[in-house]
Chains A and B, each alone.
Chain A
Amino acid sequence: MRSRLGIAKGLGSSHHGVQHFWLQRVTAVALIPLTLWFITSLITTVVSSDIIYVAQWFASPINAILTVLLLIALFMHARLGVQVVIEDYISCKVKRYSLLIANNLVSIGLSVISIFAVLKLHLLDVVASSL
């Protein structure tokens, strides 16, 4: 999301134009209802030591899908936020680029791991398969 002149000149500290700013805002807006829903669900239904209860909660497609949407928006937002922090404080090229790459790998890695967990809880009967 940038002007042709911006692309040609590689303008901006992140060299990505306004895309970072826009994505940060879009994910922020999405996260408002998603996080509030998740926290409310946590304290009203899932605050339980019983793993079976948790698995049953994820059996509902609404819960599973909303959680996956939450995880996608959350890790996108977190990745962009951490990127800005790294760019603000690290000037040494070696540390800067390795941390920026690490940020991307960790954010994407964590999102995939968590989405897999939710899918597993939703698609398979955790009670029957592991206990």
Chain B
Amino acid sequence: MSQVKRPLSPHLTIYKPQLTSIMSITHRITGLALVAGSVLLVAWLWAAAYSPSIYTQIQSLFVTPLGSLLLMGWTLAFYYHLCNGIRHLFWDMGKGFELPTVYRSGITVIVVALTLSAVTWVMALSVTAEQ
């Protein structure tokens, strides 16, 4: 029964993208990206505990351009998901549903997430530079 093909009204092709819908799907996408990152976290912890050779391999991957780019992307995904998650918690309390507030809190989330990512990376790079 799930194989029967029926016509569908157009959705993504005709609906105007808005901050609300884009931020919502981005929250889901960043969540999935963080899950992928957590698999790497487990690998890193495991290597630190049980395999020093794999640990040094992972650490050396982190300093490559691609590795650093992935880590920076992951940091941005993390801070976005964190800030938008807090926005969700306010909604759960019933606060902030007025449309202007939704847009203002949305912009705030994006700005704060970008700022926190930048600060984190400046700090991380300066700490590694000292070593």
Residue positions of A touching B, CB distance < 8 A: 25, 28-29, 32, 35-36, 39, 42-44, 47-49, 51, 54-55, 74-75, 78, 81-82, 85, 91-93, 110, 113-114, 116-118, 120-121, 126, 130-131
Contact = CB atoms under 8 A, between A and B. Distances in A.
Dominant SS among interface residues on chain A: helix
Given A39-B78, A39-B120, A25 B89 contact: yes
Interface string B11-26: 0000000000000000
A124 B9 CA distance: 61
A51 B35 contact: no
Interface residues of B, number: 34
B120 A121 contact: no
Interface of B: 2, 28, 31-32, 34-35, 38-39, 41-42, 45-46, 48-50, 52, 55-56, 59-60, 75, 78, 82, 85-86, 88-89, 92, 120, 123-124, 127-128, 131
B89 A28 contact: yes
A51 B38 contact: no
